[in-house]
Amino acid sequence: MDNKRVPWQRKARRIPLFIGAVLLVVFAKPQFSGVLIGMVLIFLGEGIRIWAAGHLQKNEALTVTGPYAYVKNPLYIGSILITAGFCIMADNIYILAAAFFMFCFHYIPYKKKVEGDRLRKIFGSQYEDYDEKVPEYLPRRTPYSDKRVFWQFKWFIENSEEGILLIVLAGILLVLSRPYWNLFF
């Protein structure tokens, strides 16, 4: 594949996410109970993402600490929880269904192949063992490794999680403010 096409393809894959987010906000009808449940899921999901991002050393070391000691894809779990939280908060089952469909039948298979191949190439048998022993999404009861590596703010920043956190906070404000837009527009 031509390397010049990769950045464009990454940006093109974000278009459905952007469209879904805009539709979610425009059609948001937040109700008290949905806001409470949604916020719990959003904060739980973002907490998992923050925990994972502070352990993830992309392409430098096979990350087997923090949430990665229990599950291979904590960032995805966090993203699923955040997405579900926003859809519940906005009271939009249709976007929730579409998001889960896209996630399960497009994103997960694509990322599993691409990331699995990349990690096998970089870490070889070390990744093979981890891949065999650590589940994708349902955490194991005991940690894969006894290795102790502490959460690092540096890795949190290197993994651009601060940008995701800001987007999540902005999304919450947009959804919660949606009922008041008619006063101004």
Cα–Cα nearest to 55, from 42, 69, 41, 45: 69
CATH number, domain with residue 145? 1.20.120
Render pLDDT for 83-140 as a digit per residue (tens, 0 to 9): 999 999 999 999 999 999 988 888 888 888 888 899 999 999 999 999 999 999 999 9
Q: How many domains does the chain have?
A: 1
In a domain? residue 40: yes
Residues in Cβ contact with 162 at an 8 Å cutoff, skipping those fewer than 6 apart: 156
Among 87, 96, 98, CA closest to 29: 87
pLDDT (tens digit, 9 = 90+) per residue, 43-98?
999 999 999 999 999 989 999 999 999 999 999 999 999 999 999 999 999 999 99
Residue 8, in any domain of the structure: no
Task: Write out the residue range of the structural domain in which residue 23 sits.
Answer: 13-177
